[in-house]
Amino acid sequence: MKIQSLVLILMITLFAGCKKDVETVFVASPSAPLSGETPILGDDETAACSDTIVYLGSDLIVNGSFEEGHDLGNNQWGVFDQVGAWYADLTSSDAGIEIQTGQTIGGLAPSDGNSKLEFDAHNKNGFSASDVEVYQTLDTDAAEDYILSFDYSPRVQGNESTNAADVYWDGNLIASLNSEVKGWQTYTLVVRGAGAGTRLSFKGFVDGDTLGGYLDNVKVKQLKPDEEGASESVVVRSCIFE
C-alpha cells in the first residue's frame, strides 16, 4: 500500500475517533506528539511507534491564514468572491467566501492570526446561496509528494451535518470534515503533486443555514529527500497498529 494511502487512512481514523486495523503508517503532524508517546488506542489495540525527521520546502499556499485580501476591521465579517489567492467557485454554487476577523466573533478565535474562513457563508452582498466551494491553484511537481495541513473546526455544537465539508486535491476527494464538537483540529495529509494549476478546494455541505465549518492555517509544502532546498524539518511518526 502506498504511503499516501496509509497516511490518509490514519488521519481519518484518528480524527474520526474510531480505530481500524492499519498496517505501518506514516504520520506527519505539527500537533502530534513528537516522540515517545503511544497514540490513543481502543481496548484491544496496541501500536509501536518510531520518529524520524523529514524535510519540507517553503509553503506554496498564498494567504493560507486568510489575514489578507479583505478590508475587514476587527470584529467584522464579510462575504467575497475572492480573498487574495482564494476564489469562490461560482460555477459550483452562487455562494461567497465568508471571512470573520477578531478573537470572539462567531464563537471561536482563529487558530492562527486574527481571521478565519467559514464554509457556510452568509448569503449577502449579492450571493443567492451560502455554502461555498473555495479553492486556490498552485503549481506542483507531479513526481513529488507534498504535505497538506490545515485547521478545521465546526461552528455549531451538536449538529450532525451542518458543519461538514469535503476537501479535494486536483479534483479528487481526499478528506471529509465533520464534527459536532467545536474546537480546532489539525489535519495533515500527504498528497502527490499534480502539475501546474493543481487545485486545492474545500466544499461546504449544502444546507443553506449560513452556519458551517471554519478553516484556517492552510499550508502545502513539498517533502524533500534531505536538507538541500528545505526550509524546515519536522518529526514524522511511523506506527504499527496491531
Question: How, if at all, do strands 145-153 and 214-224 pair?
Answer: antiparallel
Look up residue 226 and give its three cell numbers. Answer: 534531505
Spatial contact of 225 and 56, defined as CB atoms under 8 Å apart = no
Each residue 45-74 as x (binds Ca ion by CB under 5 A) or -, in order, gives --------------------xx--------
Spatial contact of 50 and 236, defined as CB atoms under 8 Å apart = no
Look up residue 34 and give its three cell numbers. Answer: 513528537
Cβ closest to Ca ion, residue 121 vs residue 174: 121
By CB under 5 A, name the one of 216, 218, 219, 234 that touches Ca ion: 216
By CB under 5 A, name the one of 115, 123, 136, 140 that touches Ca ion: 115
Is 93 a binder of Ca ion (CB under 5 A)? no
Which residue in this structure is represented by grid cell 503549481? 139
Four-CA torsion 80, 85, 89, 93, nearest 10 degrees = -30
By CB under 5 A, name the one of 59, 109, 113, 235 that touches Ca ion: 113
Each residue 144-183 as x (binds Ca ion by CB under 5 A) or -, in order, gives ------------------x---------------------
Segment interacting with Ca ion (CB under 5 A) among 15-23, 144-152, 184-192, 200-208 = 200-208
Is 112 a binder of Ca ion (CB under 5 A)? yes
Q: What are phi and psi of 30, to 5 degrees?
A: -60, -25
